[in-house]
């Protein structure tokens, strides 16, 4: 594996230099500057290696640019909140979802200084964005910060140095359709043999024709291996990434490819067999299957995950939970999964929720964006649809209308499971609240409307209602009465009775 280390170090240094050059270009970047960077890299590696480096660098710069914009929006939201609360009298309570004033003069003074800090930071970030400057760390900012406190990270200086160097290597190759096995730089055959096109300065290390180096180990893909094999046999593009886990001393090869756009399935077809409502939380997914009429079937399920640790660990935990969810959904024969369209980008600042740090941490821990992206892609692989619904009041109304009715003698339903029912009913187009029992009296004049199911404007809600089946009463059969639609013919208060109308007629 010494050749892999040499290639990783060489290409990593080229990637670092290209990233610095891309950051210096800033907003002046164009197709000509991109071509110039790629031309300079080709002399030190190859045209395909240079293409992979420049495309990865461009993606890194774009990601940092989007993160900068999100940070700017967060600062603006914090400034608006602090300014509003400072304008209120000290001790004034909030109302209608808006925060009140600060509790004391000392807190008011501290927040006024906090406002100055936020405004200074906002001006600095705005100036950087206008100039096209971004902050990027090759190897990861989390790993970089661990260098200053190795004891808390549980690492030695030598161990940290090995991880840092391995994270900054570059062994990534984009795929290319029409080429042998879908990739000319890192080629993997059907029997798992790996060969690498060496950069120009390392071509003397080749052990195969055309400047290639063949590795002794063989690889296999237990997950989606058949689909990968079909792609490389058809010479379709497959991208590869080789990386070293320095803590374990193991090398890994990742394969990825892009699927074509899937056909859009009509919403009625997705609802035909019911849905699985999913409530997203900071540490688990609460799911419940609903039939097409909005009734929960069976028992709810809980799929837990741990979102602590590194980004790789968090992503693996999330993928594992979604995989278990999809396997269960496939067994229930539903065609779609219903989730909330959540977005907490403006709700994680301490200015909005004040001292409620635990609540802010709870919101920050919910993986909204990552879950949505992972769920959509994995549902496409599993042949399931995703229905995103409005998240307004799903937890509150689910607990109000479905918490107690769905709780049995042997098992208590949680608020999150009740919320999953509310999400599923909203995805099916039903109202969240349950059908209530009829009033205790015979007529609705005594106890209000007969049910809470009919909404204002529903067709036929005031029309004739069929009689309950049974023996006929008077001369009217068990179907609709002759005067069912005539409100004046009913025996109701302030309405003339039917026999009175007959007596007054000439």
Using one digit for the tens of pLDDT, what is the confidence trace for 54-69?
999 999 999 999 999 9
pLDDT at 456 over 70: no
Between 5 and 446, where is the model more confident?
5
pLDDT at 474 over 60: no
Q: What is the mean pLDDT of the chain?
A: 82
Q: Are residues 110 and 88 in the same domain?
A: yes
**Domain assignment of residue 220, yes or no:** yes
**Domain assignment of residue 496, yes or no:** no
Residues in the chain: 506
> What is the model's pLDDT at position 99?
84
**Domain assignment of residue 463, yes or no:** no
Structure confidence at residue 496 as a pLDDT band (50, 70, 90): very low
pLDDT at 458 over 90: no
**Residue owning tokens 């927040």:** 111
Rounded CA-CA distance 45/13 in Å is 11
Rounded CA-CA distance 113/111 in Å is 5
CATH of residue 299's domain is 3.30.420.10
pLDDT at 504 over 50: no
**Domain assignment of residue 415, yes or no:** yes
Picking from 57, 338, 322, 416, the residue whose alpha carbon sits closest to that of residue 314 is: 322
Instruction: Report whether 385 contacts 329 (CB < 8 A).
Output: no
Rounded CA-CA distance 170/333 in Å is 43
pLDDT at 475 over 90: no
**Domain assignment of residue 175, yes or no:** yes
> What is the model's pLDDT at position 369?
65
Instruction: Report whether 256 contacts 183 (CB < 8 A).
Output: no
* Range from 49-58, 143-152, 295-304, 312-321 carrying the lowest mean pLDDT: 312-321
Domain end (from 410, 428, 446): 428
**Domain assignment of residue 144, yes or no:** no
> What is the model's pLDDT at position 163?
93
> What is the model's pLDDT at position 447?
54
Q: Are residues 235 and 365 in the same domain?
A: no
Q: Return the structure tokens found at 370.
A: 């990552």
Q: Are residues 132 and 14 in the same domain?
A: yes
Question: What's the mean pLDDT in 466-477?
Answer: 51
Q: Are residues 245 and 329 in the same domain?
A: no
> What is the model's pLDDT at position 478?
47
Q: Which domain holds residue 41?
A: 2-136
Give the number of domains in the chain: 3
* Range from 21-30, 206-215, 457-466 carrying the lowest mean pLDDT: 457-466
Question: What's the mean pLDDT in 403-410?
Answer: 83
Q: Are residues 82 and 53 in the same domain?
A: yes
Instruction: Report whether 6 contacts 166 (CB < 8 A).
Output: no
Structure confidence at residue 391 as a pLDDT band (50, 70, 90): confident
Question: What's the mean pLDDT in 70-78?
Answer: 91
Q: Are residues 16 and 109 in the same domain?
A: yes
Q: Are residues 280 and 252 in the same domain?
A: no
**Domain assignment of residue 232, yes or no:** yes
> What is the model's pLDDT at position 362?
53
Domain end (from 428, 458, 487): 428
Question: What's the mean pLDDT in 500-506?
Answer: 36
**Domain assignment of residue 154, yes or no:** no
Full 3-state SS string of 360-410: HHHHHHCCHHHHHHHHHHHHHHHCCEEEEECCCCHHHHHHHHHCCCCCCCC
Question: What's the mean pLDDT in 24-30?
Answer: 92
Rounded CA-CA distance 154/160 in Å is 10
> What is the model's pLDDT at position 371?
76
Domain end (from 227, 256, 285): 256
Q: Are residues 294 and 416 in the same domain?
A: yes
Q: Are residues 117 and 205 in the same domain?
A: no
Q: Are residues 343 and 237 in the same domain?
A: no
Question: What's the mean pLDDT in 298-309?
Answer: 86
pLDDT at 497 over 80: no
**Residue owning tokens 């893909």:** 221
Structure confidence at residue 306 as a pLDDT band (50, 70, 90): confident
Q: Are residues 283 and 410 in the same domain?
A: yes
Q: Are residues 271 and 391 in the same domain?
A: yes
């Amino acid at each position: 594996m010494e050749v892999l280390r040499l290639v990783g170090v060489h290409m990593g240094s080229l990637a670092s230099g290209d990233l610095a050059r891309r950051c210096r270009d800033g907003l002046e970047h164009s197709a000509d500057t991109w071509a110039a960077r790629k031309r300079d890299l080709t002399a030190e590696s190859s045209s395909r290696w240079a293409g992979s480096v420049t495309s990865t660098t461009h993606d890194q710069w774009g990601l940092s640019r989007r993160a900068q914009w999100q940070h700017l929006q967060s600062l603006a939201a914090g400034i608006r909140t602090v300014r509003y609360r400072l304008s209120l009298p000290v001790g004034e309570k909030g109302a209608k979802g808006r925060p009140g004033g600060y509790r004391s003069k000392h807190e008011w003074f501290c927040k006024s200084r906090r406002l100055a800090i936020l405004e200074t930071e906002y001006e600095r970030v705005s100036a950087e964005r206008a100039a096209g400057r971004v902050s990027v760390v090759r190897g990861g900012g989390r790993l970089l910060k661990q260098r200053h406190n190795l004891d808390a990270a549980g690492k030695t200086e030598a161990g940290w140095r090995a991880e840092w160097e391995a994270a900054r290597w570059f062994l990534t190759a984009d795929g290319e359709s029409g080429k042998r096995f879908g990739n000319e730089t890192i080629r993997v055959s059907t029997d798992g043999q790996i060969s690498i096109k060496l950069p120009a300065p390392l071509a003397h290390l080749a052990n195969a024709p055309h400047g290639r180096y063949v590795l002794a180990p063989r690889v296999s893909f237990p997950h989606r291996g058949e689909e990968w094999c079909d792609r490389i046999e058809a010479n379709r593009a497959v991208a590869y990434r080789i990386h070293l886990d320095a803590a374990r001393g193991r090398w890994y090869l990742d394969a990825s490819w892009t699927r074509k756009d899937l056909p859009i399935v009509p919403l009625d077809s997705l609802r035909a067999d019911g849905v699985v409502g999913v409530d997203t939380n900071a540490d688990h997914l609460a799911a419940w299957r609903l039939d097409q009429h909005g009734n929960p079937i069976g028992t709810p399920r809980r799929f837990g995950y741990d979102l602590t640790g590194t980004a790789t660990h968090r992503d693996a935990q999330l993928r594992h939970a979604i995989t278990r969810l999809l396997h269960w959904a496939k067994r229930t024969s539903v065609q779609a999964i219903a989730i909330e369209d959540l977005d907490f980008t403006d709700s994680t600042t301490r200015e909005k929720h004040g001292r409620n740090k635990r609540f802010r941490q709870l919101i920050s821990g919910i993986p909204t964006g990552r879950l949505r992206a992972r769920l959509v892609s994995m549902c496409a692989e599993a042949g399931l649809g995703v229905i995103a619904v409005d998240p307004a009041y799903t937890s509150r109304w689910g607990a109000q209308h479905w918490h107690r009715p769905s709780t049995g003698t042997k098992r208590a339903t949680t608020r999150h499971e009740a919320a999953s029912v509310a999400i599923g009913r909203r995805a099916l187009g039903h109202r969240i609240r349950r059908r209530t029992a009829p009033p205790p009296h015979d007529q609705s004049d005594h106890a209000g409307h007969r049910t809470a199911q009919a909404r204002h404007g529903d067709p036929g809600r005031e029309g004739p209602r069929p009689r309950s089946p049974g023996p006929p009463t008077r001369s009217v059969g068990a179907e609709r009465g002759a005067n069912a639609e005539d409100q004046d013919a009913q025996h109701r208060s302030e309405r003339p009775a039917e026999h009175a109308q007959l007596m007054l007629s000439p």
